[in-house]
Amino acid sequence: MSYKRIRAILTYLAETYGKNDSIYPKDPKIRAQIARLQFFDLDTLYARLFAYMIPVIHRGMKPDPKDLEKIHESLKWLNSYLEGHFFAVENRITVADFTLIATIGFMNSSGIDLSKYPNISSWIGRCRQQMKEIKMPIDFYYHPASSPCMSVRLLGETLGINFNLKRLNLEEKEHLSPEYIDINTQHSVPTIVDEDFALWESRAILTYLAETYGKNDSIYPKDPKIRAQIARLQFFDLDTLFARLYAYMSPVFNKGLKPDPKDLEKIHESLKWLNSYLQGHFFAVGNRITVADFTLIATIGFMNSSGIDLSKYPNISSWFGRCRQQMKGYDKITKETDEIVRNLLKGKLENFQIIKRYGTEHRERKEPEEHLERDSRSCRGIFLSIISDKYQF
């Protein structure tokens, strides 16, 4: 990329995406100062650095000492200019600082002595501190069919987290790429990368995001008793509610077999337990939405989309309605997930007529076994992504 274009990009990004005009102020006098420093960097500071380094990098020659003298001359000018300046323009960081730091940072890394320029050295320190506090978006690796991914996105929306969405094409095995396995050895979704910290498993991600980015502790309270209740519900979801759903649905997708009615009975048994627990609860833990609700909504939401009848569980139905209303962006975020689940499952489950929405009578397949086996192989991975954090085959 042309170094000239980088300056244009910095200006464009600051003006387009800045929450206010602090980084690229609208005041024409301040903008003129920023432009002057950008041109000084391009035409003098960077140009002299380029002239000094190019023989070394491209021709393997010794640099010309005269070119180094010119660099130091330009550094003296900058050092004098920065006298009395906290940042390049006035007392706040602007596009000018982001422009200059690239050139000065390279000089510092390449061994050019900056210690004789106290104003530049102090300015570098302030830029490092200030730019460190500028938070990069969290990379979020996901698939729209995955309900655990959906729950993480819902929490992110509620917390106002700016996710850098990275959709993985699981059908094309993008999750098995060396680059992704380097991030997540389990090659599962969802996965987040928060600067240098990678994390997978949706329940762990939910807890981390709530504790790290919650404006207060309402979504993940510090009270150890409340946290214990949240953990209990997360384990109940993982070990009972979700586990039974997985056991019921897995034969359809993995082997093209009829699901076992006994597994459906176990799902309803676990739903009865949850329904009883929710008696008198506005949300899963107390009267405010917590990480527990974002955990449970993934499994219950999938059940609802797949046709499992929740109407016989009034407490779950009421809780589900409150969550949909309280969770910011619920309809927008879940729409694609819900459509994929319904379309995929309708095609599969119509072969067995196993769930109320698609018929209640268990009967033999409508299509030859070999066709269903072939079809289930093609759907196996997407099924795993839909109802779990896993995609590991």
pLDDT score, position 294: 97
Domain count, the chain: 3
- 189 and 93 in a single domain? The answer is no
In a domain, 13, yes or no: yes
The answer on 378 and 251 residing in a single domain is yes
Length of the chain: 393
- Do 46 and 101 belong to one domain? yes
What are the mean pLDDT values of the chain's consecutive 10-residue runs (393 residues total)? 67 82 91 94 94 81 90 96 93 93 90 93 91 77 88 94 86 84 88 91 95 91 96 96 90 74 95 97 94 96 86 97 93 83 65 43 39 42 56 43
Same domain, 316 and 380: yes
11, part of any domain: yes
Q: For residues 127 and 143, state if they share a domain.
A: no
Write out the residue range of the structural domain in which residue 368 sits.
224-387
Catalytic residue, from 74, 146, 147, 202: name it.
146
What pLDDT is stored for residue 265 in this prediction?
A: 95
Q: In this structure, are 171 and 229 located in the same domain?
A: no
End-of-domain residue from the set 112, 132, 152:
132
Closest listed residue to residue 158, CA positions, set 315, 14, 283, 16? 283
Residues 94 and 178 in one domain: no
Beta strands in the chain (DSSP E): 138-142, 163-167, 191-194, 197-200
Q: Quick one: 242 and 381 in the same domain? A: yes
Determine how β-strand 191-194 pairs with β-strand 138-142: antiparallel
Residues 201 and 114 grouped into a single domain? no
In a domain, 91, yes or no: yes
CATH code, domain with 194: 3.40.30.10
Considering 163, 187, 213, which residue would you say is the last residue of a domain?
213
Q: How far apart are CA 72 and CA 67, in angstroms?
A: 9
CATH number at residue 335: 1.20.1050.10
CA 37 to mean position of chain CA atoms: 35
Give the per-residue pLDDT at 374. Answer: 38
pLDDT, position 377: 42
Report if residue 278 sits inside a domain.
yes
Cα 371 from Cα 200, distance rounded (Å):
35
Q: In this structure, what are the phi and psi dihedrals at residue 109, rounded to the nearest 5 degrees?
A: -70, -30
What whole-number distance in Å separates Cα of residue 90 and Cα of residue 84? Answer: 9
Indicate if 146 belongs to the active site: yes
53 and 161 both lie in a single domain = no
Are 125 and 142 found together in one domain? no
Q: Is residue 347 part of a domain?
A: yes
Residues 157 and 49 in one domain: no
Domain boundary among 184, 213, 242: 213
